[in-house]
Structure 1
Amino acid sequence: MRPLPPLYQMGAGLVTGVTGAALLQAFTFPGLDPLELFRVKFLITASGNLMAAALVLALLILVRLWKPASPRVMVCFWLGFTLGAGPWITSTWGTTWAQNHGPTSLLGKPVIYGYATMLLGFSFTRLLAGWTQWARPLVVWSAPVLLGLYLLFWSLPDGTGTQDRPFLPDGPEVEGLQISEEHPDLILISVDTLRADSILAQELNLPHLDRLRARGRWAPYGLAPAPSTVPSHTTMLTGADILTHGARSNEFMVPDRLPVVAELLKDAGYRTAAVVSSGVLHGAGGFRRGFQVYDDSSVAAAAAVTPLRRMADKKTMLGWFLPELQTVQFVMRLCVGREQWHPGNAGSARGERTQEVSSEYLTQLQSGRAPYFFFLHFMDPHLPYTPHESTLGSLVQPEDIPEAYRLHNLGSQPQVRSVQAGLQQGDPLAEQAAEALKRLYLEEVLYIDACIGALMDQADASGRPTAILFTSDHGEHFGEHDLMLHANSLYEPLLQVPFVLMAPGLAPDSSFPVVPRLEDVAPTLLGLAGVQTSSFMKGRNLTEEVFEPSPQWAAYGKRNFSFRDGPWKLIGRVQGDGFEAQELYHLENDPEESENLLDQEPEVVSRLRLAAMTALQGARPGSRGEVDDWRRQMLNQLGYGEEEDEEEEGL
């Protein structure tokens, strides 16, 4: 048999080494079953390293042209294997010098790692010279097999977003109730991270949200009990305030002792369904209770992609040397699927997907005679800010962000955190960057308006009496108090959320007689359905006209609380058995919370502090959920990595 061309032998050695390392890494990838998403794991690791191997092969060809002697097959194999396995081993076992992004990262790391790779390749060949003779043919002929497997996997349809959606039963679990003005369909829409002022911004054209307000009752803002997702949605779906349910951060669950509004409506004869777009609201956290179908299938796909994206970024040669490179993102989109790989899918689903799935469920719900309760959660305005292509560029351009803050991907968490650091250092360019990022965020709000419009049109077309309650779980900082993001303060930009209610019998374009709260969501929905509220619910039925004034609590972490009574707002921290007052604001005179009146108003501080301590004595502990590796990683990617991690001590 004629000897194979030297170029083929070099290429075969590299291909076998790289793809062999990819197979090994795919089988040993932590957090996923060896066969779960095996195709995608193999494609990601092989693609990320084959590009680097192609560059090495080009260098070897140049070496051969300069010096006719070809590198040996086994040397090329070990070069390929170390190319494939090096970043994986390095990141897994924590070789810190290779992880640092310093001034030498673009030059020093490739030089050092390239030298180490060549040294390992030649060393393995020398050490294992005894079995080289029989291993060489195996390496040479394995190359077309492994390359064929790689190409076959490319040709298969994407499987990361095809999880079967839950089945919606044909009717309610309790028969007898029929759709009517007294028992209307109920749609609760929660848009994550939506500031109250964002839907009132004069520069935005939001025709569908304007239409919703014109047909119902609304307020300039409602109040959230927390600046993070789980505590606020726990309040929204139970009617309990934050002292009653005890959830202080996204690591908590809905406590079993409190019924969810879906349970009460289902028992009354309503059909119940939910579509959520964030892994933070996963069904295992207690939010599934009472829903005949709780569709977090899109989140499950994104959740699987989250560790895979980290795999591409940290454990492949291309992603290791060139973090955040568009080439890396392009390759991974091809491997995983464009929608699932989208930078906005940090453990969440995109609005386009959410609206599409919701429309299908809504069609099924509208086909029956029984009324339904449909909970719909959109994630889009949340970090990272990645507007839909239909609105991208309508309000801001990348160059509007000062060059000093363009070191990271547009709208990414690293970029936003760098802007916050600049704000806290007094950099005036950081203020310009924060304003540009706010406009990028508003581009996401523009797309949400279109999604809301499609759902309203579908509800109207059914001809069924329908109530729609539109709100959010919390807001977002864009430079106020030198802060960005959320889950980091109890200031008004995080606690003020939109609140709009359209329902049969409500006067159009009217206002609430009180400031609505998320505690009011469940009692209002139950009131519209003619279902009795539970005694633990602290909220009010907002279809009524007369309300008794009452203070409002909010919490950030386990120890930081705010107490709002009339125009006064006290912010403090639990210390042992006491409550340390830290800030006092008169919100009517100072809506931006710029003047701390703690020292000027000792009588007000004393009164509010005493009321706060009395209320805290009756606070209930929350139910902590299990936070596994992927969930911790997802929380970090969504910006919750800095939430307090202190012990409860009885709260």
Structure 2
Amino acid sequence: MTEKPNIIWLTLDSVRYDHTTMSGYDRNTTPEIRAIADRTDGVSFSSCFSHARSSPASVPSILSGTYPSRHRTYFGNSRQLPSELSLISELLGDVGYRTVALSNNGYASSLTGLDRGFDDFTLLGSSPGEILESAGLKNLVKYAANIRRHSVGFSTDSHAHSAGYLMNELAKEELKSPDEPLFYYIHYNEPHRAYYPPLPYLNRYTDEIKMDGREAASVAMEIHHNLLDIVANGCDLSEAEMEALLAMYDSEIAYTDQLVGELFDVIEEHLGETILVVTADHGELFGEDDMLAHKYSMHNAVLHIPMVIKGISDLSDDGIVQHTDVVRTLLEIAGAETETIQGVDLRTDSREYAISQSGASDLTPLLERNPDYDRSKFCTEEYSVIQDGEHKYSQRPDDPRLYRLPDEETNLIDSAEEQATEMASWLEEWLETEGEAVGSGTEAEVDEEMRSRLADLGYLDHEM
């Protein structure tokens, strides 16, 4: 590449790999993304793992190219990325890029310090006034005119509405008249619970279940509002309830896939040489470890995510990949500084282990709802897991575990001692070197509007 390519990074919130078309899933949820991966300069990585199980720590890892134990954002007492670590926006800005971000997730914003280095950073509002301010009257009017195609119609339940249409309209404005080279980070939130897809998608996957779309969406919304009570009491959903939840989740993914396809058409028409990244910040749980959403558990249902890259020649789906690797690769291609970036250049190198990390977990919300809840289910201290595609080692201080994948129930820590010792030693050395914290972050100010926004997503009872 002789000129600096445009770089567009799309993060789809809460999408697990095994619910995408790229994985061979029996529902064709992501045909548009699959088509991007199938292009001659496209690739879909089948073994990409997130750095954390929820947005507060995983999104800072994406935009800083570092691991949670290094940046410490929502991985301890810090709530904002330390100034000692550079963001990809700053590093690309230093080599001539216009840097723009559009987010519909409160943790991908100034709350965590992730707006640093962007020439233009827009957090889409959640209240009508905020939406008007961030999207503008013209886009708001267009949204109202399309509210039955891209949302639930004129409902007063804010949890049911989708902002995907507004996200794309704002993104298209930037893409149709770009100052190149352009780095554009876009964070779609649609697949995040509550799972209530737009009206045209309500019945996308209800033919084989016992409810129609309206009933299934109502069930999904009820579970959203009562999630902690359900989990605290054993996650005992009926088969019909779980089927409804999965149908609505998959419909949300399918709608987001449509948004990606529409945006890709604009990119192809209006941008020159462009690298496109489509991924997720983490996955989602549907009963694995008796858990829902992406709380507490480090099961691969919440760590194994899609990763599609278009625009870099000679990449192959070999081995395991993480966001830090993609960030380093992009910066190397752009000729930017990579001193603070962890990960490998995917064009020339590979990694031995994927590393994912969990901050300390507070089980109080579950114990308040059920004093007899089994405290041993989830580790309350910080810990890391590593995996190589065959084995997964969990460094839980109270209960270390070794699994032979895909089985994540049978603990082989005693019967495969040599393998466990090897992985434990590697992780211990990594934590003492690459995994050490850099700098010190700060506490973020959370105003009432942001607090309401995060509560809607189910974060404030248990932020991590």
TM over 0.5: yes
1:552 aligns with 2:370: no
Give the deviation of 1:341 after TM superposition.
Answer: 5.2
Per-residue CA deviations over 1:303-355 (Å, capped at 9, x if unaligned) read: 799xxxxxxxxxxxxxxxxxxxxxxxxxxx9xxx948853246xxx6111111
CA distance 1:248–1:487, shift in 2 (3 Å): farther
Instruction: Please point out which of 199, 202, 207 is paired with 2:20.
Output: 199
Aligned equivalent of 1:32: none
CA distance 1:393–1:342, shift in 2 (3 Å): farther
Kindly report which structure 2 residues correspond to 1:518-529, keeping only aligned pairs within 5 A, or say none.
518-529=323-334
Give the Cα–Cα distance (whole angstroms) in 2 for the partners of residues 302 and 382 of structure 1.
Answer: 23
Per-residue CA deviations over 1:230-265 (Å, capped at 9, x if unaligned) read: 211111111111221112459722221111001111
Instruction: Please point out which of 181, 185, 191 is paired with 1:381.
Output: 191
Instruction: Please point out which of 450, 453, 464 is paired with 2:258.
Output: 450
Aligned equivalent of 1:390: 200
Aligned equivalent of 1:81: none
Give the Cα–Cα distance (whole angstroms) in 2 for the partners of residues 467 and 405 of structure 1.
Answer: 38
Kindly report which structure 2 residues correspond to 1:182-581, keeping only aligned pairs within 5 A, or say none.
182-200=3-21, 201-215=25-39, 216-248=42-74, 252-299=79-126, 301=128, 338=154, 342-344=158-160, 350-365=163-178, 368=179, 370-396=180-206, 400=211, 410=221, 412-417=223-228, 420=231, 424=234, 427=236, 430-462=238-270, 464-504=272-312, 506-507=313-314, 511-534=316-339, 536-542=340-346, 544-550=347-353, 552-557=355-360, 559-566=381-388, 567-573=390-396, 579-581=397-399
Query: Would you say the 8 A contact 1:227–1:556 is kept in 2?
Result: no
2:195 aligned partner, one-letter code: Y
Give the deviation of 1:278 after TM superposition.
Answer: 1.5
Give the deviation of 1:545 after TM superposition.
Answer: 3.8
Aligned equivalent of 1:599: 414
CA distance 1:549–1:409, shift in 2 (3 Å): closer
Query: Would you say the 8 A contact 1:255–1:622 is kept in 2?
Result: yes
Aligned equivalent of 2:404: 586
Query: Would you say the 8 A contact 2:14–2:283 is kept in 1?
Result: yes
Give the Cα–Cα distance (whole angstroms) in 2 for the partners of residues 186 and 454 of structure 1.
Answer: 17
Give the Cα–Cα distance (whole angstroms) in 2 for the partners of residues 488 and 644 of structure 1.
Answer: 10
Give the Cα–Cα distance (whole angstroms) in 2 for the partners of residues 400 and 480 of structure 1.
Answer: 23
Give the deviation of 1:408 after TM superposition.
Answer: 6.0
Give the deviation of 1:549 after TM superposition.
Answer: 2.5
CA distance 1:237–1:409, shift in 2 (3 Å): closer
Give the Cα–Cα distance (whole angstroms) in 1 for the partners of residues 447 and 316 of structure 2.
Answer: 44
CA distance 1:202–1:407, shift in 2 (3 Å): closer
Give the Cα–Cα distance (whole angstroms) in 2 for the partners of residues 304 and 376 of structure 1.
Answer: 16
CA distance 1:351–1:412, shift in 2 (3 Å): farther
Aligned equivalent of 1:22: none
Give the Cα–Cα distance (whole angstroms) in 2 for the partners of residues 476 and 202 of structure 1.
Answer: 18
Give the Cα–Cα distance (whole angstroms) in 2 for the partners of residues 198 and 231 of structure 1.
Answer: 23
SS at match of 2:159: coil
Give the Cα–Cα distance (whole angstroms) in 2 for the partners of residues 606 and 642 of structure 1.
Answer: 36
Give the Cα–Cα distance (whole angstroms) in 1 for the partners of residues 195 and 291 of structure 2.
Answer: 16
Query: Would you say the 8 A contact 1:248–1:622 is kept in 2?
Result: no
CA distance 1:382–1:565, shift in 2 (3 Å): closer
CA distance 1:560–1:501, shift in 2 (3 Å): same
Aligned equivalent of 2:455: 636
Give the Cα–Cα distance (whole angstroms) in 2 for the partners of residues 281 and 252 of structure 1.
Answer: 12
Give the Cα–Cα distance (whole angstroms) in 1 for the partners of residues 204 and 407 of structure 2.
Answer: 28
SS at match of 1:547: coil
Give the Cα–Cα distance (whole angstroms) in 2 for the partners of residues 301 and 341 of structure 1.
Answer: 13
CA distance 1:457–1:292, shift in 2 (3 Å): same
Give the Cα–Cα distance (whole angstroms) in 1 for the partners of residues 351 and 47 of structure 2.
Answer: 19
Give the Cα–Cα distance (whole angstroms) in 2 for the partners of residues 202 and 302 of structure 1.
Answer: 41
Query: Would you say the 8 A contact 1:390–1:447 is kept in 2?
Result: no
SS at match of 1:447: helix
Identical columns (%):
26
Query: Would you say the 8 A contact 1:562–1:569 is kept in 2?
Result: no
Give the Cα–Cα distance (whole angstroms) in 2 for the partners of residues 446 and 405 of structure 1.
Answer: 16
Aligned equivalent of 1:35: none
SS at match of 1:364: coil
Q: How many residues align structurally?
A: 412
Give the deviation of 1:529 after TM superposition.
Answer: 1.6
CA distance 1:301–1:522, shift in 2 (3 Å): farther
- Structure 1: any 5+ residue segments left out of the alignment? 1-179, 306-332, 574-578, 646-651
Per-residue CA deviations over 1:413-439 (Å, capped at 9, x if unaligned) read: 1254565456x26x4x53442232011
Give the deviation of 1:187 after TM superposition.
Answer: 0.3
Give the deviation of 1:617 after TM superposition.
Answer: 4.1
Per-residue CA deviations over 1:621-648 (Å, capped at 9, x if unaligned) read: 6543233444344333312234378xxx
Give the Cα–Cα distance (whole angstroms) in 2 for the partners of residues 280 and 220 of structure 1.
Answer: 27
2:301 aligned partner, one-letter code: P
Give the number of the structure with larger relative contact order, counting CA–CA contacts within 8 Å between residues 6 or more apart: 2
Give the Cα–Cα distance (whole angstroms) in 1 for the partners of residues 351 and 109 of structure 2.
Answer: 36
Query: Would you say the 8 A contact 1:408–1:415 is kept in 2?
Result: no
SS at match of 2:268: helix
Kindly report which structure 2 residues correspond to 1:99-138, keeping only aligned pairs within 5 A, or say none.
none
Greater share of helix residues, 1 or 2?
1
Query: Would you say the 8 A contact 1:520–1:541 is kept in 2?
Result: yes
SS at match of 2:277: strand
- Structure 2: any 5+ residue segments left out of the alignment? 133-150, 362-380
Give the deviation of 1:363 after TM superposition.
Answer: 1.4
Query: Would you say the 8 A contact 1:249–1:557 is kept in 2?
Result: yes
2:319 aligned partner, one-letter code: V
Query: Would you say the 8 A contact 2:29–2:251 is kept in 1?
Result: no
Give the deviation of 1:284 after TM superposition.
Answer: 4.2
Per-residue CA deviations over 1:193-247 (Å, capped at 9, x if unaligned) read: 1111121223225331121110202212411111111211111111111221112
Aligned equivalent of 2:423: 608
Query: Would you say the 8 A contact 1:279–1:303 is kept in 2?
Result: no
SS at match of 2:305: strand
Query: Would you say the 8 A contact 2:195–2:217 is kept in 1?
Result: no
More displaced, 405-414 or 263-272?
405-414
Give the deviation of 1:557 after TM superposition.
Answer: 3.2
